[in-house]
Amino acid sequence: MKIRVGFGFDVHRLVEGRELWLGGIRIEHSCGLLGHSDADVLIHALCDALLGAANMRDIGFHFPDTAGEYKNIDSKILLRDTVKMIRDKGYQIGNADITVCAERPKLNPHIPAMKKCLAEVMEVDEEDISIKATTTEKLGFTGREEGISVYATVLLQK
Ligand SMILES: Nc1ccn([C@@H]2O[C@H](COP(=O)(O)O)[C@@H](O)[C@H]2O)c(=O)n1
Ligand SMILES: C[C@@]1(CO)OP(=O)(O)OP(=O)(O)OC[C@H]1O
């Protein structure tokens, strides 16, 4: 069996007047993430980790932010299509481990719903998706609540 690791990282800016979408679910917050799509930064990092493990470039290569068809798109659609691409190349998903850097809101209460949602979209067990949250102790752009960043690692098997 061939085992391959992939890593993804993404950042989106927090602004007023946008909904906050994270891990496929909407979270009540005073501001939301800015992007061409719904700006679900967690899903974008996860897509990049999946694509990286399969050596299939990155999210912007497959879903360019210059294309009207992706304007305000639900990132769950991008994740579903990414998973299809990597399965078509013969890979199975082993597990994903994701860390969200956000000063606010508290994400722990939302993590079970995110895991359930992502597991459904990816057609994997919830047990195979780990999501963790950390502040950056008020340091840097995440600490100043200017944005949210996400790191994702996945393991694929062939
Ligand atoms: N947006 C966040 C950030 C953190 N958490 C949880 O709080 C714990 C402590 O955070 P530190 O940054 O002080 O280490 C962290 O381990 C998470 O469990 C959260 O829910 N939402
Ligand atoms: C998702 C896409 C496409 O709508 O746009 P954004 O929401 O701007 O996200 P980003 O992570 O900057 O890049 C990937 C994109 O091409």
Among 34, 36, 58, 76, the mutation site with the greatest number of ligand 2 atoms within 8 A of its Cβ is 36
What ipTM goes with this model? Answer: 0.90
DSSP 95-106: EEEEEEE-SSS-
Span 96-149, pLDDT tens digits: 999 999 999 999 999 999 999 999 999 999 999 999 999 999 999 999 999 999
Measured between alpha carbons, how far is 122 from 114 in angstroms, rounded to an integer?
A: 12
Q: Are 98 and 131 in contact (CB under 8 A)?
A: yes
What's residue 46's pLDDT? Answer: 99
Residue 64: asked if its preceding bond is cis (omega within 30°), the reply is no
What's residue 149's pLDDT? Answer: 99
For residue 123, give every residue at least 6 positions away whose Cβ sits within 8 Å of its Cβ, in sequence order, or none: 83
Mean pLDDT of the chain: 98
This prediction has a pTM of: 0.96
Span 81-90, pLDDT tens digits: 999 999 999 9
- Residue 6 main-chain phi, psi, to 5 deg: -135, 150
Does the Cβ of 111 fall within 6 Å of ligand 1?
A: no
Among 100, 101, 108, 151, the mutation site with the greatest number of ligand 1 atoms within 8 A of its Cβ is 108
Domain 3-157 annotated CATH 3.30.1330.50: yes
Span 33-77, pLDDT tens digits: 999 999 999 999 999 999 999 999 999 999 999 999 999 999 999
Tell me the domain boundaries of the chain.
3-157
What's residue 76's pLDDT? Answer: 98
